[in-house]
Amino acid sequence: MKLFSLFLLLVASSLAALNVKHLSGAPEEFGLHSLPDPRDSVTSEKSYTENVWFTAGADDVVYERDFPVDGPKDFVFTLATPHADSLELQMLDPSGHPIDLKSAALQTYWPLGDVKLPMTAYVIQNSVPGIYKLTMKSTLSKDEITTLSASVNPNAALTLLNNDDVEIRSHLSSYIIKVGAPIGVVSTIVDVQSGALPVGIKISSAVLDIVTPNGVEIEIPMSDNEDFIGAPPQTGVYGAQIDANVPGDYVFLSKLQGTFQDATLEKDIAFERTSQYLVKVSPATVELDGTARLRKIPADAKRVNIDLGVKGGDNQPQLRGYTEVWGVHAQTKELVPVCWVGGLVPVVNGYATLVLDLNWLHRAGVSGLLTLKNAYLADIDTNFGVSRFESNIAVDGSDFLVTPRAELLNMVATEEMSFGKRPAELTVNATAIGLLLIHGYCAGTNPWATNPGDFTNAYYPLWSLANDSHDQYSKRVMQYAQDKGLTGFSLIGHSQGGTVGAHLRNFYWSGLDSVSGGHLIQSVGTPYRGCTGAGSAANLIKIFGVGCGANSDLTVDASVSWLAGIASLVRKDIAYYTSTYQQGNFFGDYCNMAVNMVLEWPNDGVTEESYAKLVGGTYMGNTQKQCHTTDMAYPAQYNDRSRNQEMNRNAARA
């Protein structure tokens, strides 16, 4: 027993050293923090992507393929490969006539922070639906081609975007994502105008292509089995999944092919569509076992520990926990909602521990006999759930905790109730106050430092070409502020820098909690709800073998799961701006041609406007003709000096 107590003390002390917050909120917020349903995070694509491995053929041909174009007027395709200088592309239209690809070519790139992967985009105007033939010839030797064809990673990637209303809509099969658990994709084809299946659609091929963390590529058929897809068969919905046997990054490519009827042309039109996902699988083995107990905190009469019983061992990655707390009303004897509790949890000797402030019981008029609902655990570095217990959990030892006080009924929640006890060394009103300007993923420079005259008492940290999860990055920022002697600071973030600020404010006590008088966190171009291009980026990183590595925190699904852990009080502290190209026609405008092939419109060349919206945050508006970074079609958003100076004036400094 003494050894267990010592072990528990050591783990709790390690978290306390990071000044971890103990989060709580009112029952009205239950829906904000429940484990998300992947069916609510459907992504839409009008494009088709194919990975290419070269093969040594006759007449220097290394790749040849027929592919359908189903949109009228025009289409675009891109080629991404480090071997572009050795290739010659030829294309025949449906009538067998050659297309002038040199006149159609535009040099572009895929932005990975400050790393740019070169690509060529081909805009084929006045095209007609039908089957086109693409041929690639190479000046590489046959030995070089043979070596490339044996590579684990693709040699190139092709993406084709159609100009019509037919799109693939997909979602992950589950948000419980850990080693040993099944994970896959569910997809269907939709006519955007009707919201239903295209008329006369016939699916000829449905395949899920999977690249595992160790580079193995698996291709499995997708089926319309009702038990898996959650819809009746023969309704155009297909899905497939595998057991994730090793942790790490998986790339999924869902591919649907077939025909639909074109009413204007009065014939069947062939189509292909894909959707791509980057998914990080947690190494966690933990499982909630459906038990819970109440445990007193020494020398603390205001709070108690709620220990959630778990199995699977204590050697787990850092987890965050969540549960709804319900209790028996002192007067009516009915079970009523009390609050939610969450935050980072230690897993020690079969328990994951959350902290409950007893004032929540007074606020709800509850004396005790607590019940937990919708409890789950998530990996803080993958953001996805790793265990969920769907039934109610009775809390042992919670029969009678307080005598509810009438003057505290429906009280306004205090900071201590919402975030836990403020560390003694963290003052409410800081004296050494600064403004931290935080860059995004894979940055080679701090973009805010380009215009230092726009900011006062500012700091420009740089972690060159870093690729961190939100949690890892927030710890960097916290340590940087401490090293600079800042007892208080507000924060302006570009791209991932905004989510990092939110993460830091939410999970850890820091100098962000010691300033007031303005916006604590401001951001520009931050994908709070992720980016649909993250899966494509992960694929391109493999092809080129450069960049900072894939970042699963920036995907739509991981971001939705991350947001479930962010308290409404933190969201209120965030003011955010977006920018886009000048919004217009299909190919009338863009920030980055290559990324525009897969991102939802409008976007800034990296972040989609719709996925930049933060529920509960303060939206400061969108500016057109501004892009995410330099070398795009319009000036970089962080060079808007008027907005920079506005953010500087609005930053919390008191």
Decide the pairing of beta strands 433-438 and 393-396: unpaired
Instruction: Quickly count: other Cβ atoms within 10 Å of residue 633's Cβ.
Output: 17
pLDDT above 90 (res 10): no
pLDDT at residue 9, rounded to an integer: 40
pLDDT digits (tens, 9 = 90+) for 373-385: 999 999 999 999 9
pLDDT at residue 587, rounded to an integer: 54
Boundary (domain end) residue, out of 419, 444, 459: 419
pLDDT at residue 585, rounded to an integer: 57
- Residues 234 and 335 reside in one and the same domain: no
pLDDT band at 427 (very low <50, low <70, confident <90, very high): confident
- Residues 580 and 629 reside in one and the same domain: yes
- Residues 257 and 329 reside in one and the same domain: no
Lowest-confidence pick of 85-89, 265-269, 602-606, 607-611:
265-269
- Non-local (6+) Cβ contacts of 483 within 8 A are none
Three-state SS letters, 143-178: HHHHHHHCCCCCCEEEEEEECCCEEEEEEECCCECE
- Residues 591 and 474 reside in one and the same domain: yes
**Distance between terminal CA atoms of the chain?**
48
- Residues 190 and 301 reside in one and the same domain: no
pLDDT at residue 542, rounded to an integer: 78
Boundary (domain end) residue, out of 118, 135, 163: 163
- Residues 351 and 383 reside in one and the same domain: yes
Q: Which helix (H) or strand (E) holds 357?
A: strand 351-357
In a domain, 169, yes or no: no
In a domain, 412, yes or no: yes
Domain that holds residue 323: 2-37+285-419
- Residues 443 and 539 reside in one and the same domain: yes
In a domain, 339, yes or no: yes
- Residues 440 and 413 reside in one and the same domain: no
DSSP annotation of 527: -
616 phi, psi to nearest 5 deg: 95, -15
pLDDT above 90 (res 286): yes
- Residues 566 and 491 reside in one and the same domain: yes
pLDDT at residue 265, rounded to an integer: 76
CATH number for 578:
3.40.50.1820
Percent of the chain with pLDDT over 70: 97
Query: Alpha-carbon distance 493 to 500, whole Å?
Result: 8
Cis peptide before 283 (omega within 30 of 0): no
Ordered DSSP codes for 258-307: EEEEETTTTEEEEEEEEEEEEEEEB----EEEEEEEEEEETTEEEEEEEE
Burial 70-79 (b: 16+ CB within 10 A, else e): bbbebbbbbb
CATH number for 192:
2.60.40
Angle, CA 354 vertex, CA 363 and CA 24 arms, to 5°: 40
CATH number for 98:
2.60.120
Q: Which two tokens stand for residue 12?
A: 């709790």
Give the mean model confidence (pLDDT) for residues 642-647: 98
pLDDT at residue 624, rounded to an integer: 95
Boundary (domain end) residue, out of 163, 194, 221: 163
Burial 128-164 (b: 16+ CB within 10 A, else e): ebeebbbbbbbebeeebbeebeeeebbbbbbbbbbbb
Query: Alpha-carbon distance 497 to 637, whole Å?
Result: 14
In a domain, 486, yes or no: yes
Query: Alpha-carbon distance 162 to 30, whole Å?
Result: 41
pLDDT above 50 (res 80): yes
- Non-local (6+) Cβ contacts of 309 within 8 A are 288, 289, 290, 291, 292, 293, 350, 351
- Helix, strand, or coil here: 244? coil
Alpha-helical segments (H) within 413-455:
415-419
- Residues 32 and 51 reside in one and the same domain: no
DSSP annotation of 363: H
Residues 343 and 21: beta-carbon distance below 8 Å? yes
pLDDT above 80 (res 11): no
**pLDDT: which is higher, 20 or 584:** 20
- Residues 441 and 478 reside in one and the same domain: yes
In a domain, 233, yes or no: yes
In a domain, 527, yes or no: yes
pLDDT above 80 (res 198): yes
pLDDT digits (tens, 9 = 90+) for 488-522: 999 999 999 999 999 999 999 999 999 999 999 99
pLDDT at residue 5, rounded to an integer: 38
Residues 507 and 344: beta-carbon distance below 8 Å? yes
- Residues 221 and 290 reside in one and the same domain: no
Question: Mean pLDDT of all residues in the chain?
Answer: 92
In a domain, 638, yes or no: yes
In a domain, 426, yes or no: no
Number of domains in the chain: 4
pLDDT at residue 430, rounded to an integer: 79
Percent of the chain with pLDDT over 90: 83
Residues 622 and 579: beta-carbon distance below 8 Å? yes
Q: Which residue has the tokens 């490969």?
A: 81
